[in-house]
Chains A and B, each alone.
Chain A
Amino acid sequence: MATTVTKLEKLVGKRVRRREDPRLITGTAMYVEDVKLPDLHHAAIFRSPHGAANIRSIDVSKALALPGVVAVYTGKDILGVGSVVCAADLPGLRKPVHHILAQDRVYFVGHAVAVVIAKDRYIAADGADLIEVDWAPTQAVTDPEKALAAGAPAVHPEWPDNTAFVFDQKGGDYAAAAASAEVVLRQRIISQRLVPNAMETRGVVADWKAADRSLTVWTSTQIPHLARSILAGQLGLDENRVRVIAPEVGGGFGSKLNVYPEEALMGFVSMKLNKPVKWIESRRENFQTTIHGRGHVDYLEIAANRDGTILGLKLKLIQDLGAYHQLLTPAIPTLSVLMMPGLYKFRNIEAQVIGVFTNAVPTDAYRGAGRPEATHGIERMVDILAAELKMDPAELRYKNFAGKDDFPFLTATGLTYDSGDYAATLDVALEKIDYKGLRKEQAKARAEGRYMGIGISTYGELCAFGPSPATPAGGWESATVKVEPSGKVTVMTGCSPHGQGQETSFAQIAADELGVPIDDILVLHGDTAIVQYGIGTFGSRNTAVGGAALHYALQDIRDKAKKFGAKMLDADAETVILEDGHCTDPKTGNSVTFQQIAAAAYRGNIIPTGSEPGLVATRFWEPSNFAYPYGAHIIVSEVDPETGQITIKRYMAVDDIGNIINPLLVDGQLHGGVAQGLGQALWEHGVYDDNGQLVTGEFMDYTMPRARMMPWVESAHTITPSPVNPLGAKGVGEAGTIGSTPAMVNSVVDALSPLGVRHIDMPMTSEKIWKLIHGSKA
């Protein structure tokens, strides 16, 4: 049986093209909207046009009379269905009961009031137009600071102060640090409301089979298993008779890390009518009813000595929560508090978060979830301090970085950063962009009256969520590796990718470990009837946590394969080598292929002692800590004083995300993240007027970044592997969003600093910049 073994190319670390793309670019991928079932009914939802109003009465008779309309349900019909779940908890947290349809009042524009079911979508929409509600509008409040003022309208009458919670965290002694500091600087910094805008809006299909007491729900979600548990609870069904399928999910960015009213509502309707029913969210509904991100007003104070040593940071964070809590709403600003120290070693911190109800759609996790706001805060304050001290912002950062020998590094907020060398990463960024040369160029530009800016952001982030005690619903992840009798390999992962490309990167990992061609591997996810269990995708966790679970399941497969191989070769399982798809006895040189082993394992004729037939392994892996990627982003910009237009001249991103499985996927994640971060810095803003109307309710009024507005991103990496997981990966899903925003603002503030500009709130629209320039000249 001696064989020549061909060395297989290792795939981890290679730019393997996305295996997901052929179906996406040929239009054959299946999204929720593509689900077609016999006798499928369609739902349209009648929503509140008011920010705050009491419902005197609802008349659905005209809607019901419309030919083709099958049923209409309102708040009184759904009282048996559980309300929307918030998994986050904080001491003293006030949780409004948010029914899946409004009861006697509405508290934000878009609040679902009634659902119309019809034979087709158009009739359902026409039916919804015929619903008549006798409204008694009341005064709304949408600005969180105004909501806190005495006499403000109460979003929920039972809590007239509009305060959902107050959360305090301290580390060290900030008051003493500030008292001894030579410089104390304050700044109010806004991190504005953003609309996540996944390319695919939400959508739900629910199919009740009464005879089996089983409900199948297709939903565009990041968390199919959690959605199943929550839906079963809301509808009073057995968890094992609810199947949730997240088919192709066209983006989420955290907005689909939620279980919304419509999911239980479609389940309810399907159960009532004994028919499958579909609801697809329109883009206008998406703007109004899918969570928004950010929504901070931060009052920051930094204490330092004149030599640049940062002594401490104080934060009062006013979080615009919106009208009710979605899955994690109140937890998001607490992540901002945790990441306040950034990459710096100061020990004193004092933070207070005030969670405020407003008549608006809830805020919740949006790409970065709390960390972009924190990073923006600290990175802006560092630049403000540098300006005050007339110190180079890079130098100030070097002076305060946690050192490379300080790891594991315990931060002022009690986190333990896993690994890093912050100075080395900034070195690379400064050298690659020729920072010294740029400063000379800037001096020349200023002499010519041009406004050129160089903005640095050295961001840190908390990701690879996470240890279970630190997450609201479990932070582990699972993987099953099922080797089929032919030796083909099926991987089932509990994380539910929605565009990140784990069907490719997980196949790379499995191919390397098992020595099989990547084409032999199929990665399945997003179906609770197929996947063992899982937490889902968020917090840059798929590779670092889901990939780690996969790694360990693959080790189990390797161990068992070696036992079978040894038995087949009449060799010792301890000494056989499993490599390049062959199990070889080093003594004889004899080998069997991985495929032969798989066949034998299922044939069952020979079973190694203490083993059993089959070749399947499942692992649930619990991380001991988060992982902490970091990086240095530098933006060179120029501002045209005539128009206020900002031009990005260069964008340098040096990111340390630990080991890289697939650089192509990493580039994609970074580019998308940078686009969203620049979107916040320059253009995007979800605006409510004082009456609770969302006035940026479509793409004509809400500026999404376009391809032509993006700079060329020069990218490089330093690599300090994470010791937390066996892959050494840290996570890259949110890095670009977190690093880019403060770099952009710092760059423009730097450009305009000759005019005495110290801070600019986002978005930095041309209009705002023009007014700033011309106001300061006047």
Chain B
Amino acid sequence: MKVAGTAQLPFPPERAYDLMQDPAALQKAIPGCNSLERTGDDEYKLSLKMVLASLSGQFEGKVLLTDHNRPYSFKMLVEGSGKIGFVKGEGVLSLMLLDGGTEVAYEGEAQIGGSIASVGQRLIDTTSKLLVKRFFKKLAKIGSGETDAAEDEA
């Protein structure tokens, strides 16, 4: 499955770039994420709850960040698995200054297996878009210093 799109953040690329490497910010921004910790220089371990169609389950995974080119781009490799399946993917995030803010362009490929592939197939595309949208929306708020306790909707 191809994943591609763009998102806007209301602060400059340097801030956006750093936020996207900050475990505390990421944990808050990633929908359903209940823990995220740094395990190595560019390695993170995370645990999140995923809901898709009639399925829901805990995912344990790791994230690897490489090809750093602050504040322009970096590469992200994600691997996660749980009772309801597994996800494996990699993508490049490019950051660009736009009207004083940042435009993030992401492009990558994901492989999905297990129950989520056979049961939630028709929803994966729209759900992943929705999750990405939520992620950036939250990140925008965190980066702007907004507090939003009431908005834990994921």
Which residues on A are within 8 Å of B, measured CB to CB?
Answer: 49-51, 109, 129, 284, 287-288, 689, 691-698, 700-701
Contacts and interface: CB of A to CB of B under 8 A. Distances in A.
B86 interface: yes
Interface stretch (B25-33, B97-105, B112-120, B128-136): B112-120
A287 B115 CA distance: 11
Given A49-B113, A50-B113, A695 B85 contact: no
B119 A49 contact: no
B111 interface: yes
A287 B113 contact: no
B122 A694 contact: no
Nearest to B114: A49
B39 interface: no
Nearest to B81: A49
A284 B113 contact: no
A696 B121 CA distance: 8
Interface in B46-76: 53
A697 B122 contact: no
A696 B117 CA distance: 9
B83 interface: yes
B121 A697 contact: yes
Contacts of B53: 700
Q: Which of B83, B86, B117 has the most CB of A within 10 A?
A: B117
Contacts of B118: 109, 284, 287-288, 693-698, 701
B85 A49 contact: yes
Contacts of A109: 113-114, 117-118
Contacts of B121: 695-697, 701
A698 B123 CA distance: 13
Contacts of B85: 49
Contacts of B111: 691
Contacts of B115: 49, 284, 697
A479 B117 CA distance: 48
Contacts of A692: 113
B117 A700 contact: no
Nearest to A51: B113
A582 to B, nearest CB: 63
Contacts of A700: 53, 119, 122
Given A109-B113, A691-B111, 20 more contacts: A49-B85, A49-B86, A49-B113, A49-B114, A51-B113, A109-B117, A129-B83, A284-B115, A284-B118, A284-B119, A288-B118, A689-B117, A693-B113, A694-B117, A697-B115, A697-B119, A697-B121, A698-B118, A700-B53, A700-B119
A93 to B, nearest CB: 30
A114 to B, nearest CB: 14
A732 B118 CA distance: 34
Nearest to A689: B117
B89 to A, nearest CB: 12
Contacts of A691: 111, 113
Nearest to B124: A695
Contacts of A51: 113
Interface residues of B, number: 15
B117 A701 contact: no
A284 B111 CA distance: 20
B106 to A, nearest CB: 21
Contacts of B117: 109, 689, 693-695, 697
Given A49-B86, A129-B83, A693 B112 contact: yes
A287 B119 CA distance: 10
Nearest to A129: B83
25 contacts: A49-B86, A49-B114, A49-B115, A51-B113, A109-B114, A109-B118, A129-B83, A284-B118, A284-B119, A287-B118, A288-B118, A691-B111, A693-B112, A693-B114, A693-B117, A693-B118, A694-B117, A695-B117, A695-B121, A697-B115, A697-B118, A697-B119, A698-B118, A698-B119, A700-B119
Contacts of A284: 115, 118-119
The 6 A-B pairs of least Cβ separation, nearest first, read A697-B118, A49-B114, A693-B117, A695-B121, A129-B83, A49-B113
B78 to A, nearest CB: 15
B85 to A, nearest CB: 6
A693 B85 CA distance: 11
A284 B121 CA distance: 13
A435 B118 CA distance: 44
Nearest to B115: A284
A109 B113 CA distance: 9
A701 B112 contact: no
A287 B111 CA distance: 20
A118 B114 CA distance: 23
A693 to B, nearest CB: 4
Nearest to A132: B81
A112 to B, nearest CB: 15
A406 B65 CA distance: 76
A54 to B, nearest CB: 15
Contacts of B122: 700-701
A692 B112 CA distance: 10
Contacts of A693: 112-114, 117-118
A116 to B, nearest CB: 13
Contacts of B119: 284, 697-698, 700
Q: Which of B53, B86, B112, B118 has the most CB of A within 10 A?
A: B118
Contacts of A698: 118-119
Q: Which of B86, B121, B122 has the most CB of A within 10 A?
A: B121
B126 to A, nearest CB: 14
A693 B86 CA distance: 11
Contacts of A694: 117-118
Contacts of A697: 115, 117-119, 121
A598 to B, nearest CB: 57
B32 to A, nearest CB: 19
A49 B111 CA distance: 12
A25 B53 CA distance: 33
A664 B115 CA distance: 41
A50 B118 CA distance: 12
Nearest to B1: A689
A287 B83 CA distance: 18
Contacts of B113: 49-51, 109, 691-693
A316 to B, nearest CB: 31
Contacts of A288: 118
A129 B113 CA distance: 15
B50 to A, nearest CB: 14
A697 B112 CA distance: 14
Interface string B76-93: 000001010110000000
A592 B114 CA distance: 70
Contacts of B83: 129
A45 to B, nearest CB: 14
A693 B110 CA distance: 13
B115 to A, nearest CB: 7
Contacts of B86: 49
A52 to B, nearest CB: 11
Q: Which of A284, A691, A692 has the most CB of B within 10 A?
A: A691
Nearest to B88: A137
A589 B112 CA distance: 82
A51 B111 CA distance: 12
Nearest to A49: B114
A564 to B, nearest CB: 63
A717 B28 CA distance: 70
A692 B122 CA distance: 17
A692 B111 CA distance: 11
B119 to A, nearest CB: 5
A82 B129 CA distance: 48
B116 to A, nearest CB: 9
A541 B98 CA distance: 73
A693 B113 CA distance: 6
A287 B118 CA distance: 9
A109 B85 CA distance: 11
A51 B83 CA distance: 17
A694 B121 CA distance: 9
B143 to A, nearest CB: 36
